[in-house]
Amino acid sequence: MGQIKTWRAALAAIVAALVMGVAVQASAQQTGKLQVTVDYKGAGTVDKTHQIFVWVFDTPDINENSVPIATDQATSNGTTLSFSGLPKTVYLAAAYNEKGTFDGTQGPPPSGTPVTIYGGMGTATAVPTGGDDAKVTVTFDDSVRMP
């Protein structure tokens, strides 16, 4: 009976160590930081009603069915948004709330909304995350619009 308790205790310790190792590894993969500066060069004015939404994805396949892992909004042009808890590599998309009717969370932007995917439409560029020095600027205008 004493040996069974010892084996159970040893097995429990091994399982706990494995679980802790997986948890530490998972959290280490999700510690990236990124500062994203938004530069909208279109005709509209960025304000509290006409925001720029930035979405962060963990896949380069960004489309109307993609689900972001993080999102934020800028209420003035040139704002820098800070994201944390990111994987080592992310992909970005942004949209200007031209009509002031989109809240950034109700699915993809409405048809006709000025949008961009960082790196080019259909070809998202990988953005490495890291510490406080990981930075990127997303620049777009009204020339590309949501279908």
pLDDT given at position 3: 46
Judge whether residue 5 has pLDDT over 50.
Answer: no
Q: If pLDDT is split at 50, 70 and 90, which confidence band does 1 have?
A: low
Per residue in 78-132, pLDDT (tens digit) is 999 999 999 999 999 999 999 999 999 989 999 999 999 999 877 899 999 998 8
Instruction: Say if CB 77 and CB 52 are below 8 A apart.
Output: yes
Where do the structural domains in the chain lie, given as residue ranges? 1-30, 32-140
32-140: CATH number: 2.60.40
Write out the two tokens for 91: 């992909």
> Which pLDDT does position 140 carry in this prediction?
98
In which band, very low, low, confident or very high, does the pLDDT at 11 lie, cut at 50, 70 and 90? very low
Q: List Cβ neighbours of 2 (8 Å cut-off, separation of 6 or more).
A: none
Give pLDDT, residue 13.
Answer: 34
Could you write out the DSSP letters of every residue in the chain? -HHHHHHHHHHHHHHHHHHHHHHHHHHHHT-EEEEEEEEE-SSSPPSSSS-EEEEEESSS--STT---SEEEEESSTT-EEEEEEE-SEEEEEEEE-TTS---SSSSSPPTT-BEEETTSTT-PPPEE-BSTT-EEEEEE-SSSB--
Place of tokens 């969370």: 105
- Which is more confidently placed, 14 or 100? 100
Using the predicted structure, report yes or no on whether residue 19 has a pLDDT greater than 70: no
Are 136 and 92 in contact by the 8 Å Cβ rule? The answer is: yes
pTM given for the model: 0.79
